[in-house]
């Protein structure tokens, strides 16, 4: 009793708090329409056509490259042709990194070339290359524990191997070596950095990806070896003689570039200011054609939105598809979107983004207000025939780019793809269209169409509010 008065005052003072108490509901007719969309999606190839078109007509889309602009022009034209009600761009500025050439070789004791690729943000080596002795570490922790005296003037190599799994959990290990290893090695006096690619394959194709140097840390040339080359280097190191490697990387940051997030919207019929958001990132690494990472992500959203656009009436809320700029070098597009839309975060009722390829979705998780859990469980029922399980205990930030929007308060729902195959091709020359399975892609579209439609039609919200999910960690 004693607490009831302050609580009542608090509720009066805050319309968001008032709304938060109401359960979110879905009408039986809407659940039936969602089931119908699901079945249509399993026969629809819009997502495939989009993915094939982008990867064929534009190809690789390194952020800041000539193809960055080409890709934006391509996607703007495609969005318009597909009949979205509104298409626009929002600027995103970031450092522009370029790759010109890259070579590596063991020069002693057993001279031979190495298949490697520079990491995004890596500086180039001095003209003529850089030759130094290699010091090998099994893990990032071993590098962290190393005495700087053993690393001064040397090239550090870190080599944990990733194994495939449905949830791709080993990528956490591989990506942390790539993102943080070079800076740690630099701080200990190393002049170069090599890692075993963050990938699960045995192809002689290295996996690129971003690395990060904080201000004050001297950037050092950093490259990834293909898995067979990492095995080879480890065998040579085990032979016990000093191992010298020569690196010749011509790459680096060249000023700033302003690209853009490209956004398409189906205008809601009753609450056009409120919206469900989905999408993927438009940029890709330069080695492949960016098919599974992440042309399919945008393709899935486009395929789902197009089916909803063909209904006799627009849903109550708007549906937004975002093709995010420069995800690969540090979520620049997602962060710019979050900054531009933080003030109206309550209008973004729910978001879900695909950035883990397009193999079968096997699980759904969500970060929503407690009063929306029943509605999410109803969505899960419509997804069940697609073989998607609902784990109500785990968070769902929405996806890589949307994790930044989620961090400022948007409710998120994650549709988890089977990542067993994904990390064999991710960030390599092998990320090409043939890796996309049209049937599994359609299953993805079906799931996104269901979620997008029901989020746009739901009575009540999912809990988006400033700081609502501050405790959720990004994916």
State the residues that interact with Zn ion by CB under 5 A: 293-294, 355
| DSSP states along 397-462 | ---TTHHHHHHTT--EEEEEEP-TTHHHHTTSTT-SGGG--HHHHHHHHHHHHHHHHHHHH-BS--
286 CB-near residues (< 8 Å, 6+ apart):
60, 62, 65, 99, 208
350 contact partners, CB below 8 Å, separation of at least 6: 276, 277, 368, 410, 411, 412, 413, 451, 455, 462, 464
Residue 448 CB, nearest approach to Zn ion (Å): 16
Is-contact 29 465, C-beta < 8 A?
Answer: no
CB of 222 to Zn ion, least distance (A): 20
In whole angstroms, the minimum distance from the beta carbon of 33 to Zn ion comes to: 31
Between vectors from CA 341 to CA 302 and to CA 79, what angle results, nearest 5°? 20
CA distance 66 to 61: 8
Closest to Zn ion by CB, 170 or 293: 293
DSSP helix/strand/coil, 57: helix
Q: Are 210 and 330 in contact (CB under 8 A)?
A: yes
297 three-state secondary structure: helix
Q: Which is nearer to Zn ion, 181 or 209 (CB)?
A: 209
Return the axis-axis angle of helices 296-309 and 28-41, rounded to nearest 10°.
130
Closest approach, Cβ 416 to Zn ion, in A, equals 15
Eight-class DSSP state of 256: E
**Closest distance to Zn ion from the beta carbon of 381 (Å):** 30
CB half-sphere exposure, 80, CA atoms < 13 A? 9
Q: How far is the CB of 300 from Zn ion (least distance, A)?
A: 13
Cβ proximity to Zn ion: between 85 and 437 the closer is 437
d(CA 473, CA 462): 18
Alpha carbon distance 114, 406 (integer Å): 41
C-beta closer to Zn ion: residue 274 or 355: 355
CB of 1 to Zn ion, least distance (A): 53
Least Å distance, CB 334 to Zn ion, is 11
Q: Closer to Zn ion at the Cβ: 427 or 442?
A: 427
Nearer to Zn ion, 294 or 418 (CB): 294
Residue 84 or 324 having the CB closest to Zn ion: 324
For Zn ion, give the closer residue by CB, 324 or 462: 324
């Amino acid at each position: 009793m004693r607490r009831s008065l302050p609580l009542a005052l608090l509720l009066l003072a805050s319309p968001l708090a008032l709304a938060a108490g109401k359960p979110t509901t879905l009408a039986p007719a809407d659940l039936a329409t969602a089931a119908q969309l699901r079945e249509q999606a399993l026969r629809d190839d819009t997502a495939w056509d989009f993915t094939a078109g982008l990867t064929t007509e534009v190809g690789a889309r390194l952020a800041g490259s000539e193809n960055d602009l080409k890709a934006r022009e391509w996607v703007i034209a495609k969005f318009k042709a597909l009949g979205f009600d509104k298409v626009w761009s929002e600027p995103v500025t970031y450092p522009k990194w370029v790759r010109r050439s890259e070579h590596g070789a063991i020069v002693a004791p057993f001279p031979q070339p190495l298949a490697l690729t520079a990491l995004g943000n890596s500086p180039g080596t001095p003209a003529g290359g850089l030759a130094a002795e290699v010091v090998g570490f099994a893990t990032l922790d071993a590098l962290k524990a190393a005495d700087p005296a053993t690393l001064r003037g040397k090239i550090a190599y870190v080599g944990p191997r990733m194994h495939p799994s449905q949830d791709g959990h080993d990528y956490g290990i591989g990506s942390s070596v790539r993102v943080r290893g070079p800076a740690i090695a630099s701080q200990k006096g190393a002049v170069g950095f090599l890692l075993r690619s963050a990938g699960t394959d045995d192809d002689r194709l290295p996996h690129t990806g971003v690395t990060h140097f904080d201000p004050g840390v001297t950037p050092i040339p950093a490259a990834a070896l293909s898995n067979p080359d990492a095995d080879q280097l480890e065998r040579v190191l085990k032979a016990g003689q000093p191992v010298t490697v020569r690196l010749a990387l011509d790459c680096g940051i060249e000023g700033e570039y302003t690209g853009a997030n490209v956004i398409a919207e189906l205008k809601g019929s009753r609450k056009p200011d409120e919206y469900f958001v989905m999408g993927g990132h438009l940029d890709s690494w330069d080695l492949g054609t960016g098919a599974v990472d992440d042309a399919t992500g945008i393709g899935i959203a486009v395929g789902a939105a197009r089916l909803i656009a063909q209904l006799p009436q627009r849903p109550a809320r708007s549906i937004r598809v975002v093709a995010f700029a420069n995800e690969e070098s540090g979520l620049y597009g997602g962060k710019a979107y979050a900054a531009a839309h933080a003030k109206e975060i309550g209008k973004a009722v729910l978001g879900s983004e695909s950035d883990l390829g397009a193999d079968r979705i096997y699980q759904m998780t969500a970060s929503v207000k407690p009063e929306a859990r029943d509605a999410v469980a109803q969505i899960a029922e419509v997804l069940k025939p697609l073989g998607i399980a609902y784990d109500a205990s785990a968070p769902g930030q929405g996806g890589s780019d949307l994790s930044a929007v989620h961090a400022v308060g948007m409710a998120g729902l994650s549709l988890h793809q089977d990542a067993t195959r994904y990390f064999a091709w991710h960030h390599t020359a092998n990320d090409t269209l043939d890796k996309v399975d049209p049937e599994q892609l359609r299953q993805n579209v079906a799931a996104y169409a269901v979620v997008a439609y029901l989020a746009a039609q739901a009575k009540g919200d999912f809990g988006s509010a400033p700081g609502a999910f501050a405790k959720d960690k990004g994916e």
